[in-house]
Structures are given as structure tokens and as C-alpha cells.
Structure 1
Amino acid sequence: MATWTCIQNCGACCHLDPQDRPDLEDYLTKTELDLYLSMVGENGWCINFDHATRQCRIYENRPRFCRVEAHVFQDMFGIEEDDLNDFAIQCCSEQIEAVYGDRSFEQIRFEQAIGF
């Protein structure tokens, strides 16, 4: 069974282009939506994403919507804890494919990391 894990030096989730996520208002509060939109920088990338290191500059203090945690996904998407693993794998896989491509180095590393 595949087990979700975040891979280092990816950052696909840091591509925040609102055009790619038309349903933001469905799962973010008004305050979170304002914060989210304020974080969108050049070419749709988060202003806190360091392209040189491919890491988040505010990782320890990142907003709730940037966290893959059971209670966050339950609240935002109605995903039960038992379903979080599969849902997170699907979300990451789709996001990595959209940002880097389906056979990208990042996609291959993600599949290897989760045991796919």
C-alpha cells in the first residue's frame, strides 16, 4: 500500500495560481482566502517559496491551508482521517503532474517515496 509523504525539493504545492483552483472559496474562510491571494506571486508561485532551494521560507509558520494534517483536511474538505492518505496521494500526484509533468523527475521521486 502506498503511504503519502512529502518529498523534499519539490514545491509543486507552492504553485498557488488561483486560476488552477477555482473552488478556493468552497474550502477557505474569507480571511484565509485573502491570505492565500496575498501569497500568490510571479507566475502563480507562492511568494514564500524559495526557487533556489525549492523550500518554503515560512514552513514552521505556514498557514493552515498549507498543512497536510487530518484535522485540516477534515475541516476544509470533509475528508475523514482514514481517507487522508489516499486523498493526499491523489492531490499531490495531480498537482505535481500539473506543475512539472506526469513523467517529471518530481513525479517519479514522489511515486518512489510513497511506494507506488
Structure 2
Amino acid sequence: MATWRCVKFCGACCHLEPRDRPDLDKYLSSEELELYLSMVGEGGWCKHFDRSTRECTVYERRPRFCRVKPDIFQQMYSVDAAEFNDFAIECCRQQIQGVYGKNSLEMHRYNTEVSKF
């Protein structure tokens, strides 16, 4: 069974293009939506994402909607803790495919990492 985990040097989730996420207002409060939109920079990438290192420059202070944890997914998406793992893996796969492509190095690395545990 695959286990969700964040894979270093990916950053697909940092591609915040609002047109790719038309239902933002369904799971973000008005304050969070305002913050989210203020974070969108060039090409739809988060202003806090360092594209050369592929790391978040505000990781420890990142907003709730940038955190992948069972309690947050329960609050935001009504995902039961028992379903969190599979839901998070599928979310990552969809985002990686949309940003980098189905057969990308990032997708290969992600699938390799989540299948290790």
C-alpha cells in the first residue's frame, strides 16, 4: 500500500493558478481566499516558491491551505482521516500531472517515494 509523503524538489502544489482551481471559494474562507490570491505570482507560481531550489521560502509559516495533514483535510475537504492517505496521494498525482506531465521525472519520483512505505 502506498503512503502519502511530500517529495522534495517537486513543488507542483506551489503552482497556484486560480483558473486550475475554480472551486477555491468552496473550501477557503474569504480571508484565506484573499491570501491565496495574493500569493499567486508569475506564471501562476506561488511568490514564496523558489523555483531554482524548488523549495518554499516560508515553509514553517505557510498558510493552513498549504499544509497536507489529516485534520486540515477533514476541515477543508471533509475527508475522513481513514481516507486521507489515498485522497492526498491522488491530489498530488493530479497536481503533478497537471503541472509537469503524466510521464515527468517529478511523477516518477513521486510514485517511487510513495510506494517505498
Same fold (TM over 0.5): yes
Q: CA deviation at 1:49?
A: 0.1
Take 1:69 and 1:3, find their aligned partners in 2: how far apart are those partners?
Answer: 13
Residue 75 of structure 1 deviates from its aligned partner by 0.5
Structure 2: runs of 5+ lacking an equivalent: none
Is 1:26 the counterpart of 2:39 in the alignment? no
Number of the residue aligned with 1:81: 81
Q: Which residue of 2 aligns with 1:100?
A: 100
Alpha-carbon distance between aligned partners in 1 of 2:56 and 2:112, rounded to the nearest angstrom = 22
Percent identity over the alignment is 56
Q: How far is the alpha carbon of 1:71 from its aligned partner?
A: 1.0
Give the whole-Å Cα distance in 1 for the aligned partners of 2:107 and 2:71: 26
**Runs (5+) with no aligned partner, structure 1:** none
Dislocated runs of 4+, deviation >4 Å: none
* Displacement after TM superposition at 1:15 (Å): 0.1
The correspondence of residues 1-116 of structure 1 with structure 2, limited to 5 A, is: 1-115=1-115
> CA–CA distance in 1 between the matches of 2:81 and 2:44?
30
**TM-score (structure 2 length as normaliser):** 0.98
Post-superposition offset of 1:112: 0.2
Give me the CA root mean square deviation. Answer: 0.8
Per-residue deviation, residues 53-109 of structure 1 (Å, max 9, x unmatched): 000000000000000011110000000111000000000000000000001000000
